[in-house]
């Protein structure tokens, strides 16, 4: 990333809130009537919304004092409507918050996510920051719950890592939390995924999944393969959809018709790859190469191929995506797309702290490249279709 990656830091601080008094009430009449539209919400605003005193609102939110159930429900509803953060640590956000970066991944056991988290932790540690890691299991709601928790704890960077299956509700939540974090002087970073809305105040740091997939598919085509299966699709997943698009584009660029593409939607992980590859081999042998959606899917596919008594690459060629550390130890060593996972994590922290403009649409793309090992060979049968 050149000079854009220089290890400098920009303090992220929220603007000071003006205290209303008799001299400013008239001016305040022109401000948005919805308190949530003005930035950080106070407990007094929650109390006003609920129609109770500030003391009653405080007791209802703390849960440590007797408050009538109906009153507590009214206060909690008002707090939700205003997106009020009740944790005491979060009040430090007005002065800049804690020097803490929170990284949210699908699973901590994934080599790719572990590398990204390691990059975030290393860059944060270099700056004297703390790093907190949370796993979601791929559940968008758990992801958003963790975002809220980290906001309550005063994290100044919240980094969401990897592709995700998006829907309208998820897009709405991401926009809501991006706005809330920004209003508090914190920042949302989308790492390895696009923004669901280019208008929200979220920084995007990613690599070009489509270009990487197009390149690795082109590598198989250059070796003579025409019957290539994409193993690991997951419709709606931002990263995998981009890889499928790159796979289809490469086939088209080599003159193959759309029906030449075959996508097996099995999701990610070694068990998914093993199961899907086993089923595919039982169904047909009318393919000569497999493009696995990531290296762990490739690991499962390699096991299934070996169990079927076939050899890689003599009988079937296999390629992956990400170049996890174990890829060179697979049997045979895996040809794959190297994504700069650790650098992705480092860049997410570095760019977020260097960029003085916390406005909308910030996007930084890191490059990928093919690592050629020993899992690809020319097909044993002559290729079908255009050469």
Looking at the fold, whether 118 and 262 belong to one and the same domain comes out as no
Looking at the fold, whether 221 and 330 belong to one and the same domain comes out as yes
Other CB atoms within a 10 A radius of the CB of residue 301 amount to: 31
Looking at the fold, whether 221 and 277 belong to one and the same domain comes out as yes
Looking at the fold, whether 199 and 240 belong to one and the same domain comes out as no
Looking at the fold, whether 310 and 325 belong to one and the same domain comes out as yes
User: How many CA atoms, within 13 angstroms, populate the side-chain half-sphere of residue 272?
Assistant: 16
CA angle at residue 119 from 118 to 121, to 5 degrees?
Answer: 65
State the pLDDT at residue 97: 56
Looking at the fold, whether 141 and 242 belong to one and the same domain comes out as no
- Provide the whole-model pTM: 0.73
**Chain mean position to CA 143:** 10
Spatial separation of the C-alpha atoms in residues 357 and 225, rounded to whole Å: 47
State the pLDDT at residue 358: 52
C-alpha distances in angstroms, 306 versus 124, 231, 250, 269, 294?
43, 17, 28, 18, 19
Looking at the fold, whether 190 and 233 belong to one and the same domain comes out as no
Position 200 in a domain: yes
Looking at the fold, whether 216 and 291 belong to one and the same domain comes out as yes
Position 81 in a domain: no
**Chain mean position to CA 169:** 16
CATH code of the domain in which 140 resides: 3.40.50.2300
Position 53 in a domain: no
Express each pLDDT in 76-135 by its tens digit: 898 888 877 655 444 443 444 578 999 999 888 899 999 999 999 999 999 999 999 999
> Environment class of residue 283 by beta-carbon count within 10 Å: exposed (0-12), middle (13-18) or buried (19+)?
exposed
The more confident residue out of 298 and 96 is 298
Position 8 in a domain: no
Express each pLDDT in 355-368 by its tens digit: 655 555 588 999 99
Range 303-312 average pLDDT: 98
The more confident residue out of 155 and 217 is 217
What range does the domain containing 122 cover? 97-207+341-367
Among candidates 253, 219, 200, which has minimal Cα distance to 386?
253
Looking at the fold, whether 300 and 228 belong to one and the same domain comes out as yes
Can the peptide bond before residue 264 be classed as cis, meaning omega within 30 degrees of 0?
A: no
Spatial separation of the C-alpha atoms in residues 382 and 328, rounded to whole Å: 29
- Residue by residue, DSSP assigns 72-86 as HHHHHHHHHHHT---
Range 211-234 average pLDDT: 98
Domain count, the chain: 2
Looking at the fold, whether 310 and 262 belong to one and the same domain comes out as yes
Looking at the fold, whether 217 and 331 belong to one and the same domain comes out as yes
């Amino acid at each position: 990333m050149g000079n854009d990656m220089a290890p400098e830091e920009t303090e992220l601080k929220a603007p000071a809130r003006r205290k209303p008094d008799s001299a400013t009430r008239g001016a305040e009449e022109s401000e948005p009537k919805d308190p949530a539209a003005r930035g950080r919400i106070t407990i007094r605003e929650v109390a006003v919304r609920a129609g109770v005193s500030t003391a009653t609102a405080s007791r209802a939110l703390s849960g440590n004092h007797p408050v009538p159930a109906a009153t507590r429900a009214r206060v909690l509803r008002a707090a939700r409507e205003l997106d009020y953060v009740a944790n005491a640590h979060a009040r430090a956000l007005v002065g800049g918050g804690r020097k803490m970066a929170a990284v949210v991944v699908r699973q901590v056991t994934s080599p790719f996510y572990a590398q990204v988290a390691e990059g975030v932790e290393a860059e944060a540690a270099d700056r004297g920051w703390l790093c907190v890691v949370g796993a979601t299991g791929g559940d968008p709601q758990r992801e958003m719950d963790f975002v809220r928790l980290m906001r309550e704890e005063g994290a100044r960077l919240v980094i969401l890592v990897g592709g995700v299956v998006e829907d309208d509700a998820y897009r709405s939540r991401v926009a809501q939390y991006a706005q809330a974090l920004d209003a508090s002087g914190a920042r949302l970073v989308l790492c390895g995924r696009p923004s669901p809305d280019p208008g929200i105040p979220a920084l995007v740091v990613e690599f070009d999944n489509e270009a990487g997939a197009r390149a690795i598919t082109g590598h198989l085509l250059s070796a003579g393969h025409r019957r290539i299966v994409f193993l690991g699709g997951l419709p709606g997943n931002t990263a995998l959809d981009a890889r499928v698009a790159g796979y289809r584009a490469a086939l088209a660029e080599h003159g193959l018709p759309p029906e030449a593409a075959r996508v097996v939607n099995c999701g990610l992980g070694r068990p998914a790859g093993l199961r899907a590859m086993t089923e595919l081999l039982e169904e047909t042998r009318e393919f000569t190469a497999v493009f696995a959606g990531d290296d762990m899917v490739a690991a499962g596919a390699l096991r299934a191929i070996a169990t079927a008594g076939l050899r890689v690459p003599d009988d079937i060629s296999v390629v992956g995506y990400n170049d996890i550390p174990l890829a060179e130890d697979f049997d045979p060593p895996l040809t794959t797309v190297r994504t700069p996972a650790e650098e992705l994590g480092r860049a997410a922290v570095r760019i977020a702290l260097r960029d003085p403009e916390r406005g909308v649409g910030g996007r930084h793309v890191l490059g990928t490249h093919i690592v050629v090992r020993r899992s690809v060979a020319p097909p044993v049968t002559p290729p079908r279709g255009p050469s």
